[in-house]
Chain A
Amino acid sequence: MPYHEFECSKCIPERKKHAVVKGPGEDLTHALPLGYLNTIPGSISERGCAYCGAKHVIGTPMKDVIHLSHGPTGCTYDTWQTKRYISDNDNFQLKYTFASDVKEKHIVFGAEKVLKQNIIEAFKAFPDIKRMTIYQTCATALIGDDVDAIADEVMEEMPEVDIFVCNSPGFAGPSQSGGHHKINIAWIKKKVGTVEPKITSDYVINYVGEYNIQGDQEVMLDYFKRMGVQVLSTFTGNGSYDELRGMHRAHLNVLECARSAEYICNELKVKYGIPRLDIEGFGFEPLSSSLRKIGLFFGIEERAQAIIDEETARWKPELDWYKERLKGKKVCLWPGGSKLWHWAHVIHEEMGVEVVSVYTKFGHQGDMEKGIARCEEGALAVDDPNELEGLEAMMTLKPDVIFTGKRPGEVAKKIRVPYLNAHAYHNGPYKGYEGWVRFARDIYNAIYSPIHQLAHLDISKDEIPTGAGFQTAKMLSDVNLSEEVVSSSILRQYTGKYDSVSDLRKKTYPEFKQ
C-alpha cells in the first residue's frame, strides 16, 4: 500500500504520509494514512474547529434547548442551519440560534456580565424552554471567562432552569473531532445521572451517535418501537436534554457514529456497566444484522426478524432497480468521518458502484482502518485533503459522482462532477430500508440528470446538438440494459412519498406486556 503523493502537494512534503493507495494483496499493516493531526501550514484544510465539532455536530441536535455560543456572532452563524438535523418539536433548535455577541470591549473588560444578561434574556424570550447549553469559543476562553460560575449563578436565581456548559473552544483540538471528545466527556461528567427516567419496557436502550439528519433517527425509532424497545435517549439527534440526563438507566447502548460518540459509550460502560453494541442503519444487510443483534440481546429476535422480512420484501425490488443502473459507476466517498466506513462496502455490494477513493476530513486513523478494510483494491485513501488535492483526485480518477459536504461539493460541480451531500443529504433520510432506496435514487438522479449531461458542453467551442431532442434520465440509464431488466415486472423505481418522516410521528405502536 504505497503512499500517494499529489502533484499539487509536492511543495508540502508532509502531506505524502496522509494518502495511500490500497494495493493488491496488501493489508492495513502495510501503510495507513496519518490522521487527527494539526493541519499542515500551507494546506488549506476543509475541516471545522473543535467548537464547531462540539456545538454544531453534537450539541445542537438536542431539540428542547437554547444553544448559546459565548462569543462573537460569527461563531454562531457558522454553526447554524447548515446541517439538517430536524426534530419533532417544530425544529426549535434549527430555527433559533443564540450568541452573547462578544465585542472588542468585552475582550478588554471581560464578557461574563454580558453572558449573564444574554442567558436571562434568552430564557425570557422563550419561556417554554427551560434548558440551555453554553459553548465556550476561542475569544472568551482566552480571556478566561468563568462560564460555569455564571451558569451556576443563573441556576441559583432561576431554579426552574438547567444549564450545561461545554468548554470546547475552537483551538481545543486539531479538528471538530476534538470537540466531539470534549462534549461527550463533559456531558457524562456533568449531566448523566442527574435525572431518573421512567422505565416503560423490559428492553431499554440509548441510541448513541445518531443525529436525525432529515429524519434518520425517527426512521430507526420506528423499528425499535415496533420491537417494543424503549429508547431512553438519543445522543443527540431529536434528543431531549432531560432524557439524556437519564442515560445511566439503559440496558444497552447502541452506537452508530463511533467517531463522534464512542467516548460516552465507553464511559457508560466503565461507570454503569452498560455494554456497547456497534450497529449500522445504512444498507439492507448491515441494518438487518443490527436489528437482529438488538433482538438477540433482549431475547426478542422474532420481532426483529418480522420487521426485516416485511421491510426487505417492500423495498428490495426498488433498490435492485437502481442497482441495475448504477453498476460499475465510479464513486468518490468523501464524507466527514463515519460514513467513510458505514458506506464503503455496502454501496458496492448493494448498489453495485465502485468506490475509487475514500477520504475523511477529520477522522482518526481508526476510521481509515475501517474504511480501507471495507473498500476494494485500488482505492485512494486521503486524510484531511485540501481543495487542490480533491481537484487533482477528481481529474485523475474521473468519478461519476462524489459524496461529500457542500463546500467541496460545489468545487466538484465546477469541473462537471455531480455531488451528493453526504452530511446533510439531498432527499433523505438515508437510514432504514426505504431511506437506502432514497439514497440510491439520489445517486441515480445525480449521475443521469439530463442537465448534468448538458453541463459537459462548452457553448464557447462545442457544437450544440440543436437537432437532438431532450433526453430523460431513463433514456440515458437504460441504453445498455438488457430487455429483461428494462421490462422487469419485479424491479421498480422508488414509490415512497416525498416526505417519508411526518407520518411516523402520528403512528401508534403495539403495547408489549412488561
Chain B
Amino acid sequence: MEDLKERIALLEDYIMKKCLWQFHSRAWDRKDQNENILTRTRQILCGEHVSLETPADRCFWVDAVVLADAYRERFPWLGAMAKEQITDLLQAVHERLDYLTITGSLNLELTDQHY
C-alpha cells in the first residue's frame, strides 16, 4: 500500500511540476482535460488503441504521448506492472489530480459565472 502511495505521489509530482494542461481556468474544463489526457495516457501505457478521429482527440493524445514517454523513462518500474495494475495506478492519479485541481481547489474562479 505504501508502495502504491509513493508511486501515485511520484506520478502526480511529475504532472504538477512539468505539465500545464491540468490548469485550465474553469472546473468543467479541468475535468475534461484530466479525463481525456489521463485516459489516453493509460491506454498508451497499457498498449491499447487510442482513437485519433478528431483534432481534439489528437490534441489530447499528444499531451498523453509525451507524459507516457516521460513516465516510462523516469519510472522503469512501470514496465514491470501488469495492465490491471497500471489501470488502478492511473485511476488513483486521476482521482488525486481531480482533487488537487478541481474538488479540493481553493481557486475561487473555477466556478465564477462571470469569468
Residues of A whose CB lies within 8 Å of any CB of B are 27-29, 31-32, 34, 36, 251-252, 258, 262, 266, 273-278, 280, 285-286, 289, 292-294, 296-297, 341, 345, 364-366, 369-370, 373-374
Contact = CB atoms under 8 A, between A and B. Distances in A.
Contact of A365 (B62, B100, B109): B109
Contacts of A251: 55
A286 B63 CA distance: 12
Contact of B59 (A275, A280, A341): A275
Q: 7 closest Cβ contacts across the A-B interface?
A: A275-B59, A29-B104, A32-B106, A373-B16, A365-B107, A278-B20, A293-B62
A36 B112 CA distance: 12
Contacts of A275: 55-56, 58-59
A366 B100 CA distance: 12
A297 B100 contact: no
Interface in B96-115: 99-101, 104-109
A361 B56 CA distance: 33
Contact of A29 (B20, B21, B99): B99
A286 B62 contact: no
A252 B55 CA distance: 8
A229 B25 CA distance: 28
B106 A374 contact: no
- Which of A285, A286, A365 has the most chain B CB within a 10 Å cutoff? A365
A192 to B, nearest CB: 18
Contacts of B106: 28-29, 31-32, 365
Contacts of A27: 100
Interface residues of B, number: 27
B59 A252 contact: yes
B4 interface: no
A369 B15 CA distance: 13
Given A251-B55, A297-B62, A278 B21 contact: yes
Contacts of A273: 55-56
A366 B109 contact: yes
B5 to A, nearest CB: 13
B100 A29 contact: yes
Contact of B17 (A36, A280, A297, A374): A374
Nearest to B16: A373
Contacts of A296: 61-62, 65-66
Interface in B24-75: 24-25, 29, 55-56, 58-59, 61-63, 65-66
Given A252-B55, A275-B56, A292 B66 contact: yes
A297 B58 contact: yes
A467 to B, nearest CB: 49
B55 A28 contact: no
Nearest to B59: A275
Nearest to B96: A27
A28 B100 contact: yes
Contacts of B100: 27-29
A275 B25 CA distance: 15
Contacts of A278: 20-21
6 contacts: A29-B105, A29-B106, A258-B25, A278-B21, A296-B62, A373-B16
B59 to A, nearest CB: 4
Contacts of A274: 55
B99 A366 contact: no
Contacts of B55: 251-252, 273-275
A402 B106 CA distance: 28
Given A29-B100, A251-B55, A366-B25, A36 B109 contact: yes
Contacts of A374: 16-17
B92 to A, nearest CB: 15
Contact of A369 (B58, B99, B107): B107
Contacts of A36: 109
Contacts of B59: 252, 275-277, 297
A275 B20 CA distance: 15
Contacts of B23: 258, 366, 369-370, 373
A286 B70 CA distance: 12
User: B25, B56, B106: which has the most chain A beta carbons within 10 Å?
Assistant: B106
Nearest to B25: A366
Given A262-B25, A370-B20, A293 B105 contact: no
A349 to B, nearest CB: 9
A456 B58 CA distance: 55
Contacts of B56: 273, 275
Contacts of A31: 106
A459 to B, nearest CB: 45
A280 B63 CA distance: 13
Nearest to A273: B55
A497 B105 CA distance: 46
Contacts of A297: 58-59, 62
B65 A28 contact: no
A293 B66 contact: yes
A296 B12 CA distance: 24
Contact of B63 (A252, A293, A370): A293
B101 A369 contact: yes
B109 A364 contact: yes
Contacts of A364: 25, 107, 109
A286 B18 contact: yes
A373 B106 CA distance: 13
Contacts of A277: 59, 62-63
Nearest to A345: B17
A388 B101 CA distance: 32
